[in-house]
């Protein structure tokens, strides 16, 4: 297990459409998942997508009990989601603040479906199908966007809300993790 380098916006590898995982359960995929959790935990991230560490596969992880970068967020079960699909279950999008480990130091208001169903398989090849809302729905949409080569600023409708964390949220103890 190892902490891997997180690619930053501007790296063309973040703009690829990722390939499907065809070999769930192999030592290579298990090692990738372990590295992704190490990397996400070291960065205090709420989620991480394989393309963020340069791996061109449809695999995301997310979840936390308590997150210093999003102190008001409700907990989300730690999840490995492979080859995901997302179905909107809301008519409208909500706007809320988002950051990204590949866009360090910044936050912006991003519209997302307030409720979605996500489906895929987990690290054991078992089917996942969940209906979620609020921050959980937001995190899943953000992470799965990485698999389509989409970073959250590309989803923003008002770039005037894009700003630095220490200016927007001077009380947030984000430390040096962004
Ligand atoms: Ni991100």
What lies within 8 Å, CB to CB, of 63 at 6+ separation is: 46, 47, 75, 76, 77, 78, 79
Q: Report yes or no: 3 and 38 within 8 Å, Cβ to Cβ.
A: yes
What lies within 8 Å, CB to CB, of 40 at 6+ separation is: 47, 48, 61, 101
Any idea which fold 12-62+76-168 has? Answer: Peptide Deformylase (3.90.45)
What would the mean pLDDT of 64-83 be, rounded to a whole number?
90
How far is the centre of ligand 1, averaged over its atoms, from the C-alpha of 99 (Å)? 7
Of 30, 78, 131, 143, catalytic: 143
How far is the centre of ligand 1, averaged over its atoms, from the C-alpha of 48 (Å)? 6
How far is the centre of ligand 1, averaged over its atoms, from the C-alpha of 143 (Å)? 6
> How confident is the model over 136-146, as pLDDT tens digits?
999 999 999 99
Is 143 among the catalytic positions? yes
> How confident is the model over 149-172, as pLDDT tens digits?
999 999 999 999 999 999 999 988
| Residue 173 pLDDT class (50, 70, 90 cuts) | low
What would the mean pLDDT of 87-94 be, rounded to a whole number?
94
Query: What pLDDT is recorded for position 178?
Result: 38
> How confident is the model over 26-53, as pLDDT tens digits?
999 999 999 999 999 999 999 999 999 9
């Amino acid at each position: 297990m190892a902490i891997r380098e997180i690619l930053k916006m501007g790296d063309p590898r973040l703009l690829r459409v990722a390939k499907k995982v065809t070999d769930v359960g192999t030592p290579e995929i298990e090692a990738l998942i372990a590295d992704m959790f190490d990397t996400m935990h070291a960065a205090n991230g709420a989620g991480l997508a394989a393309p963020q560490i340069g791996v061109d596969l449809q695999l995301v992880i997310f979840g936390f009990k308590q997150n210093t970068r999003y102190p008001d967020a409700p907990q989300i079960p730690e999840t490995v989601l492979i080859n995901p699909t997302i179905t909107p279950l809301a008519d409208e999008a909500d706007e809320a603040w988002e950051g990204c480990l590949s866009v360090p130091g910044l936050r912006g208001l991003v519209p997302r479906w307030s409720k979605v169903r996500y489906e895929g398989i987990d690290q054991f090849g078992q089917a996942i199908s969940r209906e979620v809302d609020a921050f959980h729905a937001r995190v899943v949409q953000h992470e799965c966007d990485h698999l389509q080569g989409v970073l959250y600023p590309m989803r923003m409708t008002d770039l005037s809300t894009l700003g630095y964390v220490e200016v927007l949220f001077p009380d947030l103890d984000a430390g040096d993790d962004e």
